Amino acid sequence: MNNSCPTVKYLLVLLPLAAVLYLNFSPQHAKGTRGKAAPRSPFSHKVSSDVSDKARLVPPTASIPVIVQLNDKASPSFETDLQKKSGHLTGTLPHFNARIVDLPAKSVDDLAARPDVDFISLDRQNISFGHISTTTGAEAARLTNIPNTTGLDGTGIGIAVLDSGIDATHTAFLDRRGRSRVIVSLDFTGERIYNDPFGHGTHVASIAAGNGRIANAQFTGIAPNANLLNLRVLNSSGSGKVSSVLTALDWVLANRNTYNIRVVNMSLGAPAVDSYIYDPVCRAVRKLVDAGIVVVAAVGNNGVNDGGKKIYGQVHSPGIEPSAITVGAANTFGTDERRDDGVATYSSRGPTRSSYLDSAGVRHYDHLIKPDLVAPGNKIIDAASPNNYLVTHNPWLDAGVSRLDNRRMMYLNGSSVATPVVAGAAALLLQADPTLTPNMIKMLLMYTAQPLRGFNMLEQGAGEVNIEGAVRLVNLMHKNLMNAQVGTPLLTISGTPIPQTKIAGQTFEWAQGIILKHNFATGPDLITRYQQIYGLGVLMSDGVLVNKGAMIRNSMLSAGVRLSDNVLISNGTNMTGGTLFLSSGVLVSDGVLVSDGVLVSDGVLVSDAILGPNANVQGMSTTMHADPTTVSVVPVDNGRDCLKY
């Protein structure tokens, strides 16, 4: 094995303009006005709308695959009663108190009437969304001195990748001794294969944790020595069921200590029909976060309609979950400097439009500000599994880096490839301080992010991820703070660090704030004083209460934190800099959002009913799409390993 980094030949190419999995939903418009009672059964509030609609469309004896969430009144007679209703139990999720069931359409209401049934939702289809280390600040962050290692590289941290599989034989996943860092491979699709015939998961995993052996370390992942857990939940065509995702998440909870699983990457999504309060995947994600696991989810790729106009309200599940770090896609235009960066047009925008019915038949919408962050996601080159579906059906996705199967690289674009950038960043932060909670990591990444000029918070959240700033800040913090009191000093220095980072010769300001549910918070106390919302078992948004439209602070936040009731268009400096885009009072209103679904004059809100009751039945079509960028020079690999990464 050659330990040097040989001179690399370069191939000049014009990057293809069609290199992303862009999910094009066809939402159905709701009838009536939000808040109007719907004429449904007495138990309709316990049944997802797409289950009810499907039950009405199919014959009474037709089987519907559902997820049944039970409450603390769960009866041991559940399975026996289910069989009497001709239902079939296909799986049990012990950590989530849920069951996977094939249920006759005629039995939906009967099952919902049981006192031990909390909520019934459809076993929906998930689908993949389809020199980052320099432009994200990861290279600068690696200079941190970690004892007995080569620097900050994710060593010892387990990242679980729920996707289409990982090609464990790819050179990108070797450690410095030549051993594979894919330490577990499990299949939850029923296909009983563990590699990646679709091609999405290998690419995603290498962005989070690919090494620098190929092409002179030009395609090094964010945490190049982290361990990977290959949890295959998407099949050979890139789709899968919610029940597969839940089973994989249940496995993560059971085995997190064995493999030190601290981060879960979910570059996939399903229609966000149900409120995060009832969505089974969101509930599962919350349990993982409460157990100390960072969950990073893609926001989706539905930022424009067929006419190319911006649309809002197309965040997918589990990206709608408040405890997850939801990531959108930024376009870096092929440069390391960040002054030209923007939000990719196709990246989904908030607010979240998931909802629930109360027992009186009144519908309530979540309306959360999402995403939380954006990261590079346009025309990203990284590992390709051999003969994968994406490249064989779209040959232009092959980046032409190598002719060797275990060294090939490909292009992909979308929030799905932005998500593992943040997953890798979380692994670096956890290596720097293993005592960090998921909420602390979320705060650090948002506080140090770069607000992108001209984009509102529903497009970019706090801004573009800045790993250098987040690592620098965590290195100044006290350790073991998860049980601290509100107001306890966070930093080991007096004062505050300079809230700036320099990348590729450009210095930019940090956001210096965090996104909450419907607004944002700013102030140096966020990094100088411990806030109760940084602990386990709480949401960061728990620091704000809403009472008759007025927002008040509770004991979860110190007095030095300032709250805003606006959504802003950034001027490119910090979270308080910019012009008003939308007030939070409008965002959380029980009335129609602004007017007739039109969100100010910036774009169109997708109907008053999120994705429509039959979105999962109709499925999700995919086309190839990407934003234009500059001509790039792609390094060509000569087949010899570079170990100086």
Among 48, 133, 244, 416, which one carries the catalytic annotation? Answer: 416
Q: Does domain 127-482+586-616 have CATH number 3.40.50.200?
A: yes
Among 45, 131, 170, 200, which one carries the catalytic annotation? Answer: 200
pTM of the model: 0.87
Rounded CA-CA distance 336/152 in Å is 20
pLDDT at 147: 59
Torsion sign across C-alpha atoms 208, 211, 214, 218: positive
> Could you report the average pLDDT of every consecutive run of 10 residues in the chain (645 residues)?
46 32 31 42 90 92 95 86 92 94 95 95 76 83 68 95 98 95 98 96 97 91 97 95 97 98 96 95 98 97 88 94 97 88 94 92 92 94 95 92 93 94 98 97 98 96 97 95 89 94 93 93 95 92 60 72 90 94 74 42 43 28 53 73 82
Q: Is 385 a catalytic residue?
A: no
Length of the chain (residues): 645
pLDDT at 547: 54
Rounded CA-CA distance 218/216 in Å is 6
Among 118, 163, 167, 372, which one carries the catalytic annotation? Answer: 163
Q: Is 367 a catalytic residue?
A: no
Is the peptide bond prior to 42 cis by the omega test (within 30 degrees of 0)? no
Torsion sign across C-alpha atoms 632, 633, 636, 641: negative
Rounded CA-CA distance 247/240 in Å is 12
Q: What is the separation of C-alpha 645 from the centre of its chain, rounded to a whole number of angstroms?
A: 27
Q: Is 416 a catalytic residue?
A: yes
Sketch the domain layout of the chain as residue ranges.
44-122, 127-482+586-616
Where residue 364 falls (left for φ over 0; alpha for ψ -120 to 50; beta otherwise) is: beta
Cβ atoms of residues 376 and 425 within 8 Å: no
DSSP state, 172?
A: G
**The CATH number of 44-122 is which of 2.40.50.140, 1.20.120.160, 3.30.70.80, 3.40.50.720?**
3.30.70.80
pLDDT at 552: 56
pLDDT at 232: 98
